[in-house]
Amino acid sequence: MRVYMYGVPGSGLDSMARMPTVFFEDTANDLLAAAAPNRDEFGYFGYLKKMVLTLHNIKMLRMGRLPFHGAMVHIALRGGKSLTVLIFGDTGAGKSETLEAFARWAKTGSPKW
């Protein structure tokens, strides 16, 4: 089971770690939990997304699977051929921008902005 508590009120998480975004794993009960406080500095959507992805990735690793953070696009080429491109990397590495460049290239003939 995976549990994520987003927007925990008060200062209850402050003493648990250097940053009050915390994880807990109870292997005996197959439980993964994470929490982030209800504060303006944790209001950025990335805190929600990263924690959920981290819980998922830990679960996949425990199951012997390799998780990845990525995107995939199927591209139709001239002459009826096609290819599939898998892009993966850290948050902020440019995956979405690369997909957007592919889409722009298809529409305009140029990947340049």
Looking at residue 64, its pLDDT comes to 95
**Cβ atoms 89, 72 nearer than 8 A:** no
Q: What is the 8-class DSSP label of residue 96?
A: H
Looking at residue 96, its pLDDT comes to 84
22-26/31-37 β-pairing: antiparallel
pTM of the model: 0.58
Q: What single string gives the DSSP state of each residue in 20-74?
A: S-EEEEEGGGTEEEEEEESSGGG-SHHHHHHHHHHHHHHHHHHTT-----EEEEE
Of 42, 11, 87, 16, residue with least CA distance to 24: 16
Average pLDDT, the chain: 85
pLDDT tens digits for range 64-98: 998 887 888 888 888 889 989 889 888 788 888 88
Looking at residue 15, its pLDDT comes to 87
Looking at residue 53, its pLDDT comes to 85
